[in-house]
Chains A and B, each alone.
Chain A
Amino acid sequence: MDWFDFILARYNYWIFILLMMIGLYIVFARGNLVKKIVGLNIFQTSVFIYYISIGKIFGGTAPIYMGDELDAASHHEPESGHGADAGAHGGETAHAAAEGAQSKIDNSALDHGDDLKETLHSKIDNNALDHGNDLKEALKSAPVSDEGASLHDLPDAGEKIANTLSHTDKTPPAPAPGIEFSPDGLHGAAGDAAHSAAEAAHGAMEAIVYTNPLPHVLILTAIVVGVATTAVGLALAVRIREAYGTIEEDELEAADDIAEFGHQAGVRAQQAAGSAA
């Protein structure tokens, strides 16, 4: 039943495709302008679901930054404002790095690395937030912020992170209970990446797992666009109703034909056929 699992494990995509097709079908098949707008909405919503589902991490909470880590970060550094800022920045950078790892692992060890990947992802994230300043240094020395390519070069970045963590003894290294690590399940590049990332994550204690916030932000923007489109579309439907007295597409077409040719399209042909008969 491999194929069954294959399908089931990707249920979010099936929901997306189903909704997308339902939406498009309504847009094309319905003659009522308001129903068309509703179809368009369903179509757009399916894309929202798709975006949000690709950013989801199992066990992850909403990407809301709680105050505790922020306080901790600013304690490490006298210039608190700067520290917090850098913390956030470092967090994001490392997050991007983790994402790189995600795609790397995805490519080469899709079968084995799934769960591990999720955990590591969140660990690095959390870590980065705790050690934003040091991380920022480390990430600066790696050519991360300038060149996109190196962001995705996790083995490198991961090692740097690990080094930084071991240099700063600000958080005592503690066993990370969230990580269950099975070396034999990892091969090649994915193994390397995961390994160094695991080292980096080693210092983390209480793991707060965040989902990837970027798709949420994108979709918030897309929702605004969708709402605006719906509003304009419905406003147009209202104006059409005022001008024509109907919002049924075929009646609108008939009205336009009568205005332009003095008769409905095809009617004259029917009449001719009728009189001939």
Chain B
Amino acid sequence: MSIASQLPVLPIIMPIMAAPVTLLLPKGRAPHLWACLFTWLTFAACIALFREVDMSGPISYHLGDWAPPIGIEYRIDLANALVLLLVSGIAALVMPFAYRSVQLEVDERQTPLFYGAMLICMTGLLGVTITGDAFNVFVFLEISSLSTYALIAMGARRDRRALTAAFNYLVMGTIGATFFVIGLGLLYQATGTLNMADLSKQLIGQDNRMVQAGFAFILVGMGLKLAMFPMHLWLPNAYTYAPSAVTAFIAATATKVAVYVIIRFFFSVFNFDFAFIGAAFTYVLLPLGLLGMFGASFVALFQEDVKRMLAYSSVAQIGYMLLGLSFATVEGLTASLVHIFNHALMKGALFMAVACVVLRAGSHSIHAFAGLSKRMPVTTWAFIISGLSLIGVPLTVGFISKWYLLNAAFAAGHWYAGFLIVASSLIALAYVGRVAEVMLLREPAEEGKYAMAKEEAPLSMLIPMWILVLANIYFGVRTDLTGDIATRAAEALMMAAGGAP
């Protein structure tokens, strides 16, 4: 009974046990340091897990030593080890980053609650990723969602619209989660099991109405959670009015985890023997992905608020991920996984840069960015580099994502999708370029609402932000790291789904 054999459960146990303790700590620095400590420990555990999976293959951990399919199983293969690493890594960077930003944006009495909720949110996201039990996914999903509602509402100190945004998200999120549960109920009725591996075995040959209905409920439910194009309406407000550190964290992780759940259910629970999977790919995910890419990018062009612009851009980027997996090939799935990872790096860095501006200028309107290069050059360049990454300029991770995606599109015979990907990148160039122009070429406001002193953001914010920016470049040059792992993960998933390799 060594600690190493219990490793898979540590990323869940540690933060959830640590979260309530933050409430007992005195207000001020203590809850923050405590939360930092535990996110770093969790990150370390996830690195150890990833190394083990990378070396010796998938890990199966039986909670309470109850063997699956009766007990709950944690099952970690390369695909979710990558997502675990991503979620815990972003949390480990956002947590130290959050301190100054939270000091400004969140009521001081709420800070212990804030850090507690952040830890619980991270636990939920990690739990969704790590578990091999379908109902467990729902429970962890709601753990993360409930804490996210609370975190978004904490932005009410600066703007009361955070409250209505959180409320709308709560209604939409709960409908999504309940749809997911209905889907699980139908699958349970058809199979009598909830373990994912067991479900996929029991579902073989069961192409009946009940399974189809279950699939549809799961797709719509998760579609609401991941802000699939026509169901994204909760997202822009929630991201805009949440405290900046929260936006940086959830924009980089929450929707990615939901995309991961879709991938897990499509490839590991259902498989290509079901005709409706192919239909869902061709008639739902592909068109909605394309529509999301264009519709949301186009709306992003006209936003006066940089945070809201980036939120719409997130919806568009989710379109890329859905597009990748809708090709139902190893290349497409690889592109999706790579983009899940890379998009988290770029959006994390971008929202962190916005948080720095909010700290100094007190606003995330585009007017606050005027002449920023003269006042906060370090932040400006962080924004521009990660913006270039968002567009997909070579030597950044964005280029790698687009490259894989284009390859997959042409290999799958969807050449028009390839052109549309490039076209939507041009829209991204327009909306990032607009902010860059304002930052670099405009004169800073001397007086009035947006006037501010020439002062760079504190180091506690600059360092995590620049780590993410450098990661954007590093993983853009060392493509073998993410590309190789994503390819292996995609091959394993495709093999399980019985598709053509």
Interface residue? B384 (CB, 8 A):
no
The 3 closest A-B pairs by CB, nearest first: A148-B198, A243-B160, A99-B192
Given contacts A233-B174, A237-B167, 9 further A-B contacts (CB under 8 A): A33-B167, A40-B174, A44-B174, A44-B178, A93-B70, A215-B188, A221-B139, A228-B142, A233-B167
Chain B residues, CB < 8 A from A179: none
Task: Give the interface segment out of B146-154, B248-256, B328-336, B354-362.
Answer: B146-154
Judge whether B181 and A222 touch: CB under 8 Å.
yes
Q: Which residue of A is nearest B195, CB measured? A: A148
Cβ–Cβ < 8 Å partners of B69 in chain A = 96, 148, 151
Q: Which residue in chain B gives the minimum CB-CB distance to A92?
A: B70
Interface string of A151-194 (1 = CB under 8 A from B): 11000000000000000000000000000000000000000000
Known: A148-B195, A236-B166, A244-B160. A47 touches B202 (CB 8 A): no
- Check B167 against A102 for contact (C-beta < 8 Å): no
Closest A residue to B142 using CB positions: A225
CB proximity of B132 to chain A, nearest CB, Å: 12
Does A5 have its Cβ within 8 Å of any Cβ on chain B? Answer: no
Contact: B178 with A148, CB < 8 Å?
no
Interface size for A (C-beta < 8 A) is 42
> How would residues 42 to 58 of chain A score, 1 for a CB under 8 Å from any chain B CB and 0 otherwise?
01100100110010000
Closest B residue to A222 by beta carbon equals B181
Q: Binding site of A, secondary structure by majority: helix, strand, loop or mixed?
A: helix
Tell me the chain A residues, 36-81 only, with Cβ under 8 Å from chain B. 36, 40, 43-44, 47, 50-51, 54
Q: Are A152 and B192 in contact (CB under 8 A)?
A: yes
Interface size on B, residues (CB 8 A): 40
Cα A214 to Cα B167 with chains together (Å): 32
Known: A44-B178, A93-B70. A102 touches B192 (CB 8 A): yes
CA distance A249 to B264 in the complex (A): 37
User: Are B170 and A233 neighbours in the complex by a CB distance under 8 Å?
Assistant: yes
A31 nearest CB across to chain B (Å): 12
Distance A146 CA – B197 CA, assembled complex (angstroms): 12
User: When the two chains form their complex, are residues B192 and A47 in contact, meaning their CB atoms are under 8 A apart?
Assistant: no
Residue A141, interface by CB 8 Å: no
Contacts of B190 in A (CB 8 A): 103
Does B156 belong to the interface (CB within 8 Å)? yes
Q: How far is the CA of A239 from the CA of B135 in the complex (A)?
A: 32
- B194 CB to closest chain A CB (Å) equals 8
Query: Given A43-B175, A43-B178, A148-B197, does the pair A239, B202 have CB atoms closer than 8 Å?
Result: no
Interface positions of A from 1 to 41, Cβ below 8 Å from B: 20, 24, 27, 33, 36, 40
